[in-house]
Amino acid sequence: MKLLPQFLNLIQQWRPCFADYRTHRRAVGFALSLLVCLGRRTISRAICAQQRQFQSWASDYKLFSLSRWSPRSLFDVVLKLGLGLVSKTQPVVIALDDTITRKTGHRIPKASTLRDPLSPPYHTNLVRALRFIQAVLLICPTDGIGAARAIPIAFNLAPPVPKPKKKKAAKATSTDTNDTAASNGKKMGKKTTDPEWTQYYKMRRQQGLSAQGAVLIQDIRSRLDKIADFTHRVLWVVVDASYCNRTVLSQLVERVVLIGRTRKDIQLSALPEARSGRGRRRRYGKDLATPDQMRKDDSIPWQHATIFAAGRSHRLRYKSVGPVLWRGGAQQRPLRLIIIAPLAYHAHGHRLYRHPAYLLVTDPAADVVQVLQAYFYRWEIEVDQKDEKDLLGVGQAQVWSKQAVSHQPAFHVASYAMLLLAAIQCFGLNSTSALSPLPHWRKHKPPLRLSAAQLIARLRAELELLDASDSSSRRSRSSEFPRAALEKQIGMKIPVTMRAILDSAWT
């Protein structure tokens, strides 16, 4: 099966997301051109890849700045298609993480100064960027052996709460007035007493990164409830330590299990003992040791499990303690603590997982081995984010409209999600049947699946084959990859040609 026809067929399911068929056709052209064009993924280069650089480009920019469509509607189609690939014997597993796209303009809406995640550990750098929260659906192999594939199902703009601006000090005319103003400034200039800073801390708790992540989890749960076969399916959400806190745990809804990494020094408590006499019932039991102390405690036995990570199976040591209570984070919600021993292995020339990990699970009855495998599969969201920014150039489009700032990156990520779904439907989850010939230095260690770069190269090769078959059909009535049949199948002309991609590489 060809990848390009399957990708275009999936994009046709976006038709109800747009009010007009012309807007949908323009979206199909941008979905394909943003994936296969060369160089920076800007809107102007995508226009050139569609051979429309000599026409009015106002409608192309209005697709992201003025057209009435929602990125969530695009991801709803992706979610329904992705859930069709989830086995009925497995839980629905998603991963959540935040990422930034660097910007240089100071008039871009919602752009702010953020911490650079690539800063060295000994010095924190700042960068101007847009912050997004991304959620991916993990398509896991049914036999548990092999890598998972992360399908993006949400890419929401998550700007931080702006800090209050510094007030300019009023000029005084006498030394006594200066002394009085200085003494009052020391008393009243503190952030704890300033009403603007009090309001800022309140808004940060309500609209901070963790709060927006909790809202996104609730939104995904509501989207699953609208699908008949997944109304009663339990949703597993795998997060890192930035989302394993009281803000997120206090807003978890029913049929949602959070699997999050936590610190090694949190204070845990046992469940309260049953009390038959008179008096108030205790909320917490006796205090327990910290997770790091439990790891060193020989009275808690180590258990073993086999998990798949970094391209092969590993023998893992872990400890399971539960149910426990975390009064500082989950309060009276029972949890299970999983302590993972350091799993040292080499991947890409680096030694990974050299330190122990501590997980908290909001369902003490969950299968511990499945929880461990889901946690290690969370690495796929990091792979997605690397491909989106380094390979696909998400966030490189130069847009300044308030709507386009959030819609254009989400549209780009949704197109990437459709490409991954088309690849799974064509070639399977972990198949290399469509892999092109490898260089000599890769033959000793071939890839275990098709990467995003190989999928994009496959799209370009099929576009080139489409152009070649179109020219050969004029001489002979038969061709391997006819353009007319494909255009009749999708109901529109193929907007992108390989010749246009090469000609626009210099722009």
- Tens digit of each residue's pLDDT (9 = 90 or more) over 333-372: 999 999 999 876 666 666 666 789 999 999 999 999 999 9
Would you state the structure tokens that stand for residue 41, as one six-digit string?
């993924």
Neighbouring C-alpha atoms within 13 Å toward the C-beta of 351: 5
- Tens digit of each residue's pLDDT (9 = 90 or more) over 427-442: 998 888 888 888 888 8
Q: DSSP states of 334-354 as a string? A: -EEEEEE----EEETTEEE--
| Residue at 64: amino acid letter | F
Would you state the structure tokens that stand for residue 222, as one six-digit string?
């509501």
477 pLDDT band (50/70/90 cuts)? very low
Percent of the chain clearing pLDDT 70 (strictly above): 90
Residue 485, Cβ neighbours under 10 Å: how many?
11
Residue 179: pLDDT over 80: no
Residues 215 and 219: their CA atoms lie apart, in Å, by: 6
| DSSP label of 280 | P
Residue 377: pLDDT over 50: yes
Q: What are phi and psi of 155, to 5 degrees?
A: -150, 85
Q: What are phi and psi of 250, to 5 degrees?
A: -75, -15
Residue that the structure tokens 């990708």 belong to:
7
Which of 196-210, 237-251, 448-462, 477-491 is least confident?
477-491
Q: Is 406 helix (H, G, I), strand (E, B) or coil?
A: helix
The residue among 203, 288, 270, 215 whose CA lies nearest residue 248 is 215
What local confidence, expressed as pLDDT, does residue 489 receive?
80
- Tens digit of each residue's pLDDT (9 = 90 or more) over 24-71: 999 999 999 999 999 999 999 999 999 998 888 899 999 999 999 999
Q: Is 91 helix (H, G, I), strand (E, B) or coil?
A: coil
The stretches of 236-349 forming alpha helices (DSSP H) are 246-249, 291-296
Which of 245-249, 314-318, 490-494 is least confident?
490-494
Residues 374 and 377: their CA atoms lie apart, in Å, by: 5
For 223-362, strand residue ranges (E) read 235-239, 256-261, 303-309, 312-324, 335-340, 345-347, 350-352, 357-361
Neighbouring C-alpha atoms within 13 Å toward the C-beta of 275: 11
Residues 6+ apart with CB under 8 A from 209: 98, 131, 133, 158, 160, 242
- Please check whether residue 286 is in contact with residue 250, taking contact to mean a CB–CB distance below 8 angstroms: no
On average, the pLDDT of the chain sits at: 88
What local confidence, expressed as pLDDT, does residue 280 receive?
76
The residue among 5, 478, 29, 488 whose CA lies nearest residue 470 is 478
- Please check whether residue 166 is in contact with residue 185, taking contact to mean a CB–CB distance below 8 angstroms: no
What local confidence, expressed as pLDDT, does residue 184 receive?
47
**Residue 259 Cα distances to 116, 278, 321, angstroms:** 26, 38, 14
What local confidence, expressed as pLDDT, does residue 448 receive?
86
467 pLDDT band (50/70/90 cuts)? confident
Would you state the structure tokens that stand for residue 282, as one six-digit string?
């205790």
What local confidence, expressed as pLDDT, does residue 485 receive?
80
Residue that the structure tokens 């539960």 belong to:
322
Residues 305 and 303: their CA atoms lie apart, in Å, by: 7
How far apart, in Å, do the first and last CA atoms of the chain sit?
33
- Please check whether residue 430 is in contact with residue 147, taking contact to mean a CB–CB distance below 8 angstroms: yes
- Tens digit of each residue's pLDDT (9 = 90 or more) over 386-424: 999 999 999 999 999 999 999 999 999 999 999 999 999
| DSSP label of 491 | T
169 pLDDT band (50/70/90 cuts)? low
User: Rounded to 10 degrees, what is the CA torsion of 411, 414, 415, 420?
Assistant: 170
What local confidence, expressed as pLDDT, does residue 159 receive?
94
Q: Is 308 helix (H, G, I), strand (E, B) or coil?
A: strand
Neighbouring C-alpha atoms within 13 Å toward the C-beta of 70: 7
- Please check whether residue 91 is in contact with residue 235, taking contact to mean a CB–CB distance below 8 angstroms: yes
482 pLDDT band (50/70/90 cuts)? confident
Q: Is 156 helix (H, G, I), strand (E, B) or coil?
A: strand
Which of 1-10, 13-22, 368-377, 463-472 is least confident?
463-472
Residues 406 and 164: their CA atoms lie apart, in Å, by: 24
Most confident of 6-10, 143-147, 193-197, 432-436: 6-10
Residues 147 and 424: their CA atoms lie apart, in Å, by: 13
Neighbouring C-alpha atoms within 13 Å toward the C-beta of 178: 5
What local confidence, expressed as pLDDT, does residue 478 receive?
45
What local confidence, expressed as pLDDT, does residue 353 receive?
62
Would you state the structure tokens that stand for residue 203, as one six-digit string?
């808004």
What local confidence, expressed as pLDDT, does residue 465 receive?
86
Would you state the structure tokens that stand for residue 12, as one six-digit string?
């046709």
What is the per-residue burial (b if ≥16 Cβ within 10 Å, else e) of 48-61? bbbbbeeeeeeebb
- Please check whether residue 28 is in contact with residue 495, taking contact to mean a CB–CB distance below 8 angstroms: yes
| Surface-to-core class of residue 458, CB atoms within 10 Å of its CB (0-12 exposed, 13-18 middle, 19+ buried) | buried
Residue 177: pLDDT over 50: no
Residue 480: pLDDT over 90: no
